[in-house]
Structure 1
Amino acid sequence: MKLNYKKSGSGPPLVILHGLFGSLDNWFSIAKELVEHYTLYLVDQRNHGDSPHAEEWNYDVMVEDLKELIDDEGLEK
């Protein structure tokens, strides 16, 4: 599943995930401080924010979603 995310900054990649019932918007205030040191990926997980919604929703599919994003972006660490 192609997740909605916002990418900003420069430096080593840092992927930030929200908690239950959250969205990537929850991290904007903290991201302002981190963007100077990292390339930030603020991610809406499936069934949250602007990411697609699906019937299947468990840790296994959420890991696969995140792996797809990491692979698409060419992140190694």
Structure 2
Amino acid sequence: MAALDEITNVIAEIIEEFTGIPAADVDRNKAFSSDLGIDEPTKNEIVKGIEERCDVKIDGSDSKEFATVGDAVDHIYTHRN
């Protein structure tokens, strides 16, 4: 479980870097678009940041399926290098 929390925290930090949304306001249940107001171009930049920080490759079609922060966390957890 700690690994999932760590991944969530890293993603929250990346979201804060790109959007200014405090990392403390980001959790697994937040939807990128409706809850966090993140548009597709910004989400793509966040995904690039996730790839760099988490040492994982995320296919473009996979990232389009990330509706929530939890979707991204789960993908990273199962596809880590």
TM-score by length of 1: 0.29
Greater helix proportion: 2
Greater strand proportion: 1
Larger Rg: 1
